[in-house]
Amino acid sequence: MTNQDLISIIVPVYNMARWLDRCIQSLTNQTYTTLEIILVDDGSTDNSLQLCKQYAKQDPRIIVINKENGGQGSARNSALDIAHGQYIGFVDPDDWIALDMYAYMLNLLQQEHADIVQIGWIETNTGIISPTDISKEQKCYKNREALSLLIQSSNKLNTSVCNKLFNAQILKNLRFTEVRAYEDDEFVYKAVWRASKIITDNTPKDFYFIRGNSTMTAKFNLNKLALLTIQKNICDFIQENIPEWFNKQERILCSKQFYILSCLLTNKNIDPDKKYYNTIRTDILNSYNAYLHNPLMGKNCIILYLLKHFAPLANVILSLKFHHKL
């Protein structure tokens, strides 16, 4: 196998034996065959590792990494460290992809001389594609415009890595923050900033399987505190590279802090002694003056004031304001 036009596909695996075969079959049967498929078993306690090794025996393009559990970001980083591909893709082990997905994305990327291609996905538990899910719209963005879409939470560009193909050059020395959730967000922000051109195409090629106990769909748990770590990192990144956008990103951070406080307040069994609540409240109050001087804070200033001077009332408002999002 040569490295020319080689695509490295990274799959982090943790206790995914039940779904793994469907995922791997969709990778090994891709119409584009110059692939390096890196399966990273992240300390599974089921038979996921044994299955990964079986797949590797059947297909020489498959590489298996066995490591201690460190979370999805850690697993992906282990694969990035050894990936040989000119292009990098990511797939989650409970999802599967259209058999022409990588051929389709690579053609777009090379045709448009882009560094990132994003295609559409379908959220499904059945694999059945409804015609209403299919809408094809292709757009081209420079990095600054694309980053603006991310900050606006626009549906034109998202922070998942699994529906994208990256030029490996822009990922050089870029790694995931090793937390237990939301690590995609920071990674995509930084990758987009490094890219010269980003192409989006709504053609659905990625089938996203929604599990009730997945990281992003499970009820609130302490892993989701990683949201604040990631948002702080993004704030620092924006302040360093595009300081004129910092006020907007700081407002997003403040809103996320309020959201996590609300989650802790309405899930008291998770934080019975208010350890995490007090830590986050202290972080907010340490930024109190900066937040109040941010012209984009708007109504957040009211909650900030109450949180500092009338915390019980602020807690009631936070619980009511964000309860519907839990």
pLDDT tens track for 298-325 = 999 999 999 999 999 999 999 887 654 4
CB atoms inside a 10 Å sphere around CB 285: 14
Confidence of residue 1 (pLDDT cuts 50, 70, 90): very low
Q: What is the domain partition of the chain in residue ranges? A: 7-209, 222-325
261 neighbors 325 (Cβ within 8 angstroms): no
Q: What is the pTM of this model?
A: 0.92
pLDDT score of 214 = 54
Per-residue pLDDT tens digits for 231-288:
999 999 999 999 999 999 999 999 999 999 999 999 989 999 999 999 999 999 999 9
Q: Show the CA angle centred on residue 246, arms to residues 261 and 293, nearest 5°.
A: 70
Per the listing, tokens 């109040």 go with 292
Per-residue HEC secondary structure of 152-220 comes to CCCCCCCCCCCCEEEEHHHHCCCCCCCCCCCHHHHHHHHHHHHCCCEEEEEEEEEEEECCCCCCCCCCC
Q: Which run of H or E residues covers position 10?
A: strand 7-13
Tokens of 47: 């038979």
Over its C-alpha atoms, the chain yields an Rg (Å, rounded) of: 21
Q: Band of the pLDDT at 209, cuts 50, 70, 90? A: confident
The model's confidence at residue 207, banded by pLDDT at 50, 70 and 90, is confident
As a CATH number, domain 7-209 is 3.90.550.10
For every residue of 228-242, DSSP letters joined together read HHHHHHHHHHHHHH-
